[in-house]
Amino acid sequence: MVATKDLSVSLCGLRLENPVIPASGTFGFGLELADSFDLNVLGGIALKGTTREARPGNPTPRIAECRAGMINSVGLQNPGIEVLVGEKAPALRKIYRGAIIANISGFSLEEYAFNCARADACPDIDILEVNISCPNVHNGGMAFGTDPAQAAAVTRAVREAVREKPVFIKLSPNVTDIVSIARACEDAGADGLTLVNTFLGMRIDINKRKPVIANKMGGFSGPAVFPVALRMVYQVAHACRIPVMGCGGVSRSEDVVEMMMAGATAVQVGAENIRNPFACPEIIAALPELMDRLGIGSLQEIIGIAA
C-alpha cells in the first residue's frame, strides 16, 4: 500500500493541490471537460489564449499529425477578453476551486497591457500567463519573445498595468539563447516564467505536393520535444530566481517528476490532452505510486534537485 504523499506545491504564494496543469490551448476554458471528470483533481487550469477582440483563427486545415507529436496553427481563435472575464472565468470558478490561469496574447504593448489589466480585475482569475510568441505588429511582425528587449518591454507594460495577480511570461523556444530572454523578463518584473511554448514545425503531403497546414507552418508539440523543453527549463530555473512552470512534451507522471527535478515548480500538460482528454487526471493518479517507488515524500522537496 502506497503511503500518503504530499503532492501540493506553492506557486507565488498560491497553494496548488498538485503541480499538474492543462496547458493553454489544449483544454479550452475548462468548462468543455466538466462533464467528463471532476476538474478539482487538477492543480490549476491554463485557459485558452485570449486577445482583446474575438478572433476566428487561421484557415483550415490547422492540424498535422506527427509520429511523436502534432503541429497546430489554430491562430489564437478566441471570443475576446470581455467574454473571458465576464463569462468564461466566472462560470469555471463556480465549479472549480483550483488555480485559474488566464493566458493573455496581444499584438502590441497596449493590447497586452489592456488585456492584463482586465484579467487582473477579474476576481475569478488567479494568475496571468502572458504569451509573448505573438508577432509585434509595430515592429515588422517579429515575435515579442524572440528578442530580450522586446520581451522585457512586454513584461514592463504588463507589470505596470497589473496590481494584484502574479504575472508569468510564457517563453518561446524558437530562440538561440532562452536564458537571456528569461533574465530580461525577470529584470523587468515578471513574477514567474512558463516554458516552453511550441516549436516551429512543418509537414508536407507528398501526394498533394504541398504543406499539410493551410498556414504552411505551425507549432510543434508532443513527446518529441520533451528533452529540449526539459533542457530549457533546467537552464532557466537555475539562471533565474523566480518560479518556473515547465511545459513541453509532458505525457507521463515520470515526465512531471523529471521537470520538477530540473527546476519546475508546476508542470503543464499540452498536446497529450488532445490525444487523451483524461491525460491530466491519469498522470495525477499515478504520481503517489511513482513517488513511493522513488522515495519521495513531498513534491515540493524535489524542485531543482537535479542541480
Mean pLDDT of the chain: 96
Q: Which CATH number is 9-302's, of 3.40.640.10, 3.40.50.300, 3.20.20.70, 3.40.50.720?
A: 3.20.20.70
**257 has pLDDT over 80:** yes
What is the predicted pLDDT for the residue at 134?
77
Tell me which residues are annotated as active site: 134
pLDDT at residue number 1? 62
C-alpha to C-alpha distance for 65 and 271, rounded to whole angstroms: 11
Task: Give the pLDDT score at 133.
Answer: 86
Across 143-156, average pLDDT: 95
Q: Of residues 245 and 134, which shows the higher confidence score?
A: 245
pLDDT of residue 26: 96
The residue type at 91: A
Spell out the SS3 assignment of 240-270.
Answer: CCCCEEEECCCCCHHHHHHHHHHCCCEEEEC
pLDDT, residue 136, reads 66
The pLDDT value recorded for residue 135 is 67
> What's residue 137's pLDDT?
60
pLDDT single digits (tens) 268-284: 999 999 999 999 999 99
Q: Please tell me the predicted confidence (pLDDT) of residue 76.
A: 93
Q: What is the pLDDT of residue 141?
A: 59
* Angle between the N-to-C axes of helices 178-187 and 148-161, in degrees from 0 to 180, rounded to the nearest 10: 30
Residue 45 phi, psi (nearest 5): -135, 120
> pLDDT tens, 80-124?
999 999 999 999 999 999 999 999 999 999 999 999 999 999 999
The answer, yes or no, to whether residue 32 has pLDDT greater than 90, is yes
pLDDT at 143: 84
Give the DSSP H/E element, type plus range, for residue 239. helix 226-239
Q: What was the pLDDT predicted at 307?
A: 77
Evaluate if residue 139 carries a pLDDT over 80.
Answer: no
Residue 200 reports pLDDT greater than 80: yes
Residue percentage of the chain with pLDDT more than 70: 97
- Are 265 and 20 in contact by the 8 Å Cβ rule? The answer is no
User: What pLDDT shows up at residue 110?
Assistant: 96
Of the chain, the percentage scoring pLDDT greater than 90 comes to: 95
User: What number is the average pLDDT over the span 223-248?
Assistant: 98
* Angle of helix 253-262 versus helix 226-239 axis, rounded to 10: 30
pLDDT in tens, 175-189: 999 999 999 999 999
d(CA 88, CA 265): 26
How much is the average pLDDT of 221-226? 97
Task: Say if residue 233's pLDDT is above 90.
Answer: yes
Which three cell numbers, joined as nine digits, stand for 50?
485570449
